[in-house]
Amino acid sequence: MIVFNNVSMRYPNSAHLFRQVSFSIDKGDFVLVTGHSGAGKSTLLKLMAGIELPSSGHILINQQDISQLHPNAVPYLRRRFGLVFQDHKLLYDRNSFDNVALPLSIQGITGEEAARRVRAALDKVGLLNKEKAMPITLSGGEQQRLAIARAVVSRPSIVIADEPTGGLDQAASLEIMQLLKAFNDVGVTVVIAMHDVSQVSTIAYRTLHIDQQTISAMPAQTAML
Amino acid sequence: MKNWLNQHALAIDLVLQRLKSHWLNTLTICMVIGITATLPGLLFVGLDNLQDMSRSIKQDAQISAFLKSSTNANLIQRLINDVQALPQVKEVRYVPKEDAIKQLGAQFLQKDLLVDLPQNPLPDALFITLTDTQPASVKPVQDLLQKRGEVEELVIDSVWIERLHSMLVLGKRIAIIFASLLGIAMITVISNTVRMQVLTHEAEIEVSRLIGATHSFIRRPFLYMGGAYGLGGGLIAIVLLFMIVWNLRQPVQLLANNYQSNFHLVFHLFNVGGLMLLTTIAIGWIAAFIALTQKR
């Protein structure tokens, strides 16, 4: 599903984040990307979603080389992903319903169909009763759940989450991870960047560990708290 | 296709919401555009009316040929026949000097003045109405009359019409320059406003980009917003122009009556108004486009 083939990445005027890394993520995988701060976890996720392009090498998403994509095709690639950000990136001038409806609007889905899908997503994350609430009135955990609802509302095949539990307490972090695992259980590929794996509960996962400009893929394991 | 239409409907809805939520700001910008557009609009309305007037004059344009007193009836008739044979001539009206003095007498109350004259000082005259006042049409008639010895003096009415046309052309050019300068001012105002809007919605733009919005999706509401400012400003300008014309109509008519003219000031809503609306909408759209291009 996601294949990195000899991918190197460096930002202008800075050192390499990775050198010629290769790995693959299969459909239905639950993958944790780990590494110290500044190792390049977020950049790796951005490369997967086509937000950044590699300095060299090839990234294949469903056998399509994203480095070869025409810039106009990139937005359509991104629609295949559900993105969850550490800082939520919610729109604070719109209510919960409108925040979740944004990806559908982008795809031109409006009216009853959009409303049905938004409510289903809000229901999944336990925020159906807060569809009219403004994000600022929600707790940190609720805001992150809202961001997850926005990520899954367009039924992506891959969910990419960058430090989704950052700044949350243990209970809220657990809720978020269980929620992401629930999507993984129905076949959605989930890739999560985390610096603290201890937050992961009883979840079977694969790890991509970034260290010293290399990525080591570890086999599936189950974390127990 | 349905999704495409949905996206446009969504963008329009979003723009209307934004304009409504900042209605005072919207009204201020539309007023600025409206007042700015009114000034060249007024010039165009004036020119439009002068052009209407020149068109009506054009229909009555004529050459007056005053004949020598020695010209006899046969020569006059031959001259009339020759002139009438020209394709540029619509009508030839012969006014003998006896009729001319009677007409002159009828126009003045002090008829005694004319009675006291030892002899009729007026010449026989031909009033030649032309098909049009273009120089190419006037020239052959003018040449024919100048060659003929029966003609004492020629008065070509089209000369001043030509001058009026030249002035209209000049006036139009000035109005276009004036409108262009004010158009640039409008573009600056709208462009700046749209740029501010882009900055205000930067977070939304960033998120939309990340989750798969195309450039068109992101730009569309701002382009519509520029167009909406233009539309609002254009409508205000039309209302202002209509009020100004309505206000000036009576004094202009009074002035025209003093010159025995039935000229009256009109505002052609579909011609001038429509053109103005299209122009202001286009200016708004272009300004938004510039703002978005600069932003990128």
- What number is the ipTM of this complex? 0.83
Q: CB contact, 8 Å: B111 with chain A?
A: no
For chain B, say whether A109 makes contact (Cβ under 8 Å): yes
Structure confidence by residue, pLDDT tens digits, A72-93: 888 998 898 999 988 889 999 8
Mutual angle of helices B2-21 and B215-258, in 10-degree steps: 60
* Ramachandran angles phi, psi of B264, nearest 5°: -140, 145
Q: Cβ(A96)–Cβ(A132) under 8 Å? A: yes
Which of B141, B156, B171 is the C-terminal boundary of a domain?
A: B156
Q: Which of A72, A77, A108 is nearest residue B6 as measured by Cβ atoms?
A: A108
Torsion of Cα atoms, A159 then A163 then A169 then A174, to 10°: 30
* B77 & B207 share domain: no
Instruction: Name the 3-class secondary structure at B64.
Output: strand
pLDDT in tens, A194-213: 877 766 655 667 888 888 77
Model confidence, pTM:
0.73
Rg of chain A over Cα atoms, rounded to whole angstroms, equals: 17
pLDDT of residue B112: 63
Q: Tell if the CB–CB gap between B6 and A110 is shorter than 8 Å.
A: yes
- Output the domain CATH number for residue B133: 3.30.70.3040
Pick the closest to residue A179 from A221, A124, A122 (CA basis): A124
Task: State the smallest CA–CA distance between residue A21 and chain B in angstroms.
Answer: 24
Tell whether B171 and B51 lie within a shared domain: yes
Q: What pLDDT sits at residue A225?
A: 36
Q: Does B73 lie in the same domain as B51?
A: no
Q: How many helices (H) and strands (E) does chain A have?
A: 6, 10
Q: Test A108 with B212 for CB contact under 8 angstroms.
A: no
Tell me whether residues B211 and A79 touch, CB distance under 8 A.
Answer: yes
B14 with B102, same domain: the answer is no
> What are the tens digits of pLDDT across the range A128-156?
999 999 999 999 889 999 999 999 999 99
CA distance A225 to chain B (A): 33
| Band (B132; pLDDT cuts 50, 70, 90) | confident
pLDDT in tens, B200-256: 888 889 999 998 899 999 999 999 999 999 999 999 999 999 999 999 999 988 888
pLDDT for B226 equals 95
Residue ranges making up the domain that contains B73:
62-156
Q: What is the mean pLDDT of residues B9-21?
A: 88
Domain count, chain B: 2
Q: Which of A211-225, B29-43, B137-151 has the lowest mean pLDDT?
A: A211-225
Q: Check whether residue B112 and residue B48 sit in a common domain.
A: no
Of residues A166, A131, A171, A164, the one with CA closest to residue A147: A164
Residues B279 and B239 in one domain: yes
pLDDT of A119 higher than 90: yes
Mean pLDDT for A24-34 is 90
Q: Please compute the mean of the pLDDT values over residues B62-73 and round it to a whole number.
A: 86
Report pLDDT for B136: 75
Q: Are B211 and A102 within 8 A, CB to CB?
A: yes
| Cβ–Cβ under 8 Å, residues A150 and A182 | no
Contact B207 A106 (CB under 8 A): no
Q: Which residue has the higher pLDDT, A119 or A108?
A: A119
B116 and B257 inside one domain: no
Q: Is the predicted pLDDT of residue B47 greater than 70, yes or no?
A: yes
B206 touches chain A (CB under 8 A): yes
pLDDT digit string, tens, across residues A12-22 = 888 888 888 89
- Region B105-123 average pLDDT: 70
The pLDDT, as a whole number, for residue B219 is 93
**Judgement on whether residues B121 and B166 belong to the same structural domain of the protein:** no
**Residue B113: is its pLDDT beyond 70?**
no
Model confidence at B38, in pLDDT bands (50, 70, 90)? very high
In 3D, which of A135, A35, A137 has the Cα closest to residue A88?
A135
Higher pLDDT, B131 or A119: A119
Out of B7, B210, B212, closest to residue A76 by CB: B212
- Could you tell me if B176 and B29 lie in one domain? yes
Final residue of a structural domain among B156, B188, B205: B156
Percent of chain A with pLDDT over 90: 39
Calculate mean pLDDT across residues B45-73. 78
Confidence of residue A224 (pLDDT cuts 50, 70, 90): very low
| Confidence label for B60 from pLDDT (cuts 50, 70 and 90) | low
Q: What is the pLDDT of residue A202?
A: 59
Rounded CA-CA distance B146/A204 in Å is 110
Do B142 and B203 fall into the same domain?
no
**pLDDT > 60? residue B183:** yes
CA dist., res. B296 & res. B290, Å (int): 10
* Cα nearest neighbour of A84 on chain B: B211
A73 shares contact with chain B (CB less than 8 Å)? no
Query: Is residue B88 within 8 Å of residue B135, measured between CB atoms?
Result: no
CA distances from A20 to A13, A56, A57, A60, A214 (A): 19, 8, 7, 15, 8
- Cβ-Cβ contacts under 8 Å for A6 (sequence gap 6 or more): A20, A21, A22, A56, A57, A58
Please tell me the predicted confidence (pLDDT) of residue B120.
Answer: 79
What does the mean pLDDT of chain A come to? Answer: 87
Could you give the CA distance from residue A89 to residue A144 in angstroms, rounded to a whole number?
9
Distance from CA of A79 to the nearest CA of B (A): 5
Indicate whether B160 pLDDT > 80.
no
Q: What distance in Å separates the CA atoms of residue A62 and residue A26, rounded to the nearest whole number?
A: 10
Greater model confidence, B266 or A138: A138
Q: Based on the number of CB atoms within 10 Å of its own CB, is B85 exposed (0-12), middle (13-18) or buried (19 or more)?
A: exposed
HEC-encoded secondary structure of B197-240 = HHHHCHHHHHHHHHCCCCHHHHHHHHHHHHHHHHHHHHHHHHHH
B285 in the same domain as B168: yes
| Domain boundary residue, one of B156, B189, B210 | B156
Cβ of residue B12 closer than 8 Å to a chain A Cβ: no
Return the closest-CA partner of residue B76 out of B88, B94, B101, B103: B94
- Whole-angstrom distance, CA of residue B248 vs CA of residue B242: 10
| Whether residues B111 and B133 fall in one domain | yes
**Is A107's CB within 8 Å of B212's CB?**
yes
CB contact under 8 A, A91 and B214: no
Query: Tell me, what's the pLDDT at B184?
Result: 93
Q: Maximum distance among all alpha carbons in chain B?
A: 102
pLDDT category of residue A162 using cuts at 50, 70 and 90: very high
Average pLDDT over residues B65-86: 89
Q: Cα separation of B200 and B221, whole Å?
A: 13
Chain A residue at shortest CA distance from B3: A108
